[in-house]
A and B are shown apart, each in its own frame.
Chain A
Amino acid sequence: MQWETVIGLEVHVQLATHSKIFSGASTAFGAEPNSQACAVDLGLPGVLPVLNEQAVAMAVQFGLAVHADIAEVSVFDRKNYFYPDLPKGYQTSQMYHPIVGPGEVEITLDDDTTHRIRIHHAHLEEDAGKSLHEDFHGMTGIDLNRAGTPLLEIVSEPDMRSAKEAAAYLKAIHSIVTYLGISDGNMAEGSMRCDVNVSVRPKGQEAFGTRAEIKNVNSFRFVERAIAFEVERQIELIEDGGKVVQETRLFDPERDETRSMRTKEEANDYRYFPCPDLLPVVLDQAYLDHLRSQLPELPAEKRERFQQALGLSAYDASVLSASRDMAEYFEEVHRVCGDAKQAANWVQGELSGALNRENLSIANSPVTAGQLGELVQRVLDDTINGKAAKEVFQGLWHGEGTSADAIIEAKGLKQVTDTGAIEAMIDQVIADSPAQVAQYCDAEPEKRGKMIGYFVGQVMKASRGTANPQQVNGLLKEKLDALL
């Protein structure tokens, strides 16, 4: 039987506020345990939450970026459950009136096809603390620094049909939140994690199959692997006459499998009710208009502009717009050198190669966009040839000079375009190579084109690589053919 996979994602994005969603404690990562957990975060008696305006603004910015309806009135609810890293006994979340309503995200797959993935809603909530299960004399250690950190939970519709689409969707969300600057998107530090809902159904069937939810998947690669395993498991189960049960599963990256955590029978009843400590959040049109006017150009718009206005290929445009750092770097190189295609080639070629080799992100590149732009400009205006340009790039990379011009000067890489100087070098080479000249003259005319390579090499060597290769070629041919 032909099976179809149905996937929906719940993505938790940690918002990049300085303080927590309901308290003035810091959200900085990596502090001493419990040094950033204040009375509100600890749920001590008598404390009251006060909502962080920046968390609200960031949620709205996301909503605007995915063309969602923003709720004029949104309400916080209490999600009640008992766990020691949740000292209040409930998580403040938004169940019935989330701040961001239905929207959509466009994803692009490797084969350049685009798909629209609908977003059901996105809501604000607080993160819980962290339980450390290492052995503390048979007890569990609790660090509440993360408790109260603002999260935006983005819930998609079950619109994805393959692991690749799910990964592309996650990347699209990552790219939107980092462009907006509302999250650092650092998956390794848990700034972005996702729960994956997966089910299968016979191809052509309308009704969805029973789904399993895979919790806490924290990398793009793991999303694909977890889904691949889970789809296989469900199909095998059904084909063997079994039934998928609705349950929560955990992905184990080391064993590359998902394992059952709890089934629906044991599922919690969260007893949601409106939080009496928080009033409804009301946003007016002027506020939304203001935030809309502050939105940066988003990845999809950038990709479109790189293709349409700058004439880049779909592939180049999508690579260069994937992250905001990459896009800004490329645009600066382009601004300085004036040639989009060359700028794209250098950023994706020489620069990306060097960054990959040393495992650096583009934000930490030792060569600035301005320096690279100037270097490309010197190639375009024929100051240096392509070979010298690579040498200048290495010079900039290793800090041998602060600008392309300084390195060109210091290393004497300036291209020789003075015809007289090149002719003198050619004359010398011809005079020094009587045997090769004789061979050239005796050869069949169609073979001479290849034979000229030897002379070009000699002239380039004589110029220490600085002669303009096209000029050398043309002049050599003239002079050699004159000897026939």
Chain B
Amino acid sequence: MALEDSHVRRAAHLARIAVSDDQASGFVEDLSRILDMVDQLQGVDTDGVAPLAHPLDATQRLRADEVTETNQRDTFQRCAPAVENGLYLVPRVVE
């Protein structure tokens, strides 16, 4: 799939990442190469191959069921754009 300049600008906008005009053309090339690689992967015949859940040959470690976190609400909410009564405020959600 060929990426265009507008795709990159839109993705950058959605991700809230500042991308200059110079950088944008470079990203078009880099991201297109990634997509080419995905195309290449999709060409491989994987019939009869079990899906791989994780590349590491290890199993999940479990933790004891203990409360180890303390209330750090004030710290976390310092980077939130709007808070009130301890709640994070977001643009109104309509179902």
Residues of A within 8 A of B (CB): 17-19, 23-26, 32-39, 42, 44, 50-56, 73, 75, 83-84, 96-97, 131-133, 136-144, 261, 274, 276, 278-282
With a cutoff of 8 Å between Cβ atoms, the chain A residues found around residue B40 in the complex are none
Contact A25 B82 (CB under 8 A): no
In chain B, what residue has the closest Cβ to A277? B54
B76 touches A39 (CB 8 A): yes
A34 and B88: CB pair below 8 A?
yes
B46 interface residue (CB < 8 Å to A): no
Contact A24 B77 (CB under 8 A): no
Which among B64, B69, B85 has the highest number of chain A CB atoms within 10 Å? B69
Q: 5 extra interchain contacts, Cβ-Cβ under 8 A, other than A32-B73, A33-B86? A: A38-B72, A53-B63, A54-B64, A279-B54, A281-B59
**Residues from chain B with Cβ under 8 Å of A133 in the complex:** 92-93
**Of B60, B68, B92, which contacts A282 at CB under 8 A?**
B60
Chosen A-B contacts, 21 in total, with CB atoms closer than 8 Å, are A17-B65, A19-B65, A19-B69, A24-B68, A24-B69, A32-B86, A33-B87, A34-B73, A35-B86, A37-B76, A38-B69, A50-B62, A53-B62, A136-B84, A136-B87, A140-B91, A141-B87, A141-B89, A274-B54, A280-B53, A280-B59
Task: Specify which of A25, A44, A56, A144 is in contact with B67 (CB 8 Å cutoff).
Answer: A25
CB distance from B42 to the nearest CB of A (A): 15
Docked CA distance A261–B94 (Å): 12
Report how far A18 CA is from B56 CA in the complex, Å: 30
Question: Are B58 and A279 in contact, CB atoms less than 8 angstroms apart?
Answer: yes
A52 near B89: Cβ-Cβ < 8 Å: no
Tell me if B22 is interfacial: C-beta within 8 Å of chain A: no
B93 and A83 contacting across the interface, CB-CB below 8 Å: yes
User: Which one of A18, A34, A137 lies within 8 Å of B86 (CB-CB)?
Assistant: A34
Give A283's nearest chain B residue, CB to CB: B59
The 8 Å CB contact of A25, one of B58, B69, B85, B89, is B69
Q: How far is the CB of A205 from chain B (nearest CB, A)?
A: 35
> What 8 A-B pairs come out closest when comparing CB atoms?
A24-B68, A141-B87, A54-B65, A53-B62, A33-B86, A38-B69, A279-B60, A282-B59
Determine if A26 and B53 form an interchain contact, defined as CB atoms under 8 angstroms apart. no
How far in angstroms is the closest Cβ of chain A from B60? 4
* B45 CB, nearest partner CB in chain A, Å: 21
Q: Which residues from A are CB-within-8-Å of B77?
A: 34
B87 touches A143 (CB 8 A): yes
A278 and B60 contact, Cβ closer than 8 Å, known pairs A36-B71, A84-B93, A133-B93:
yes
- B10 interface contact, C-beta 8 A: no
Whether, in the assembled complex, B66 has its beta carbon less than 8 Å from a beta carbon of chain A, the answer is: yes
The reply to whether B89 and A140 contact each other, CB–CB distance below 8 Å, is yes
Across the interface, name the chain A residue whose C-beta is closest to B60: A279
* Min CB gap A176→B, angstroms: 21
CA distance A465 to B75 in the complex (A): 72
Distance in angstroms between the alpha carbons of A144 and B69 in the assembled complex:
14
What per-residue 1/0 map shows which CB atoms of B28-66 lie under 8 Å from chain A? Answer: 000000000000000000000001111010111111111
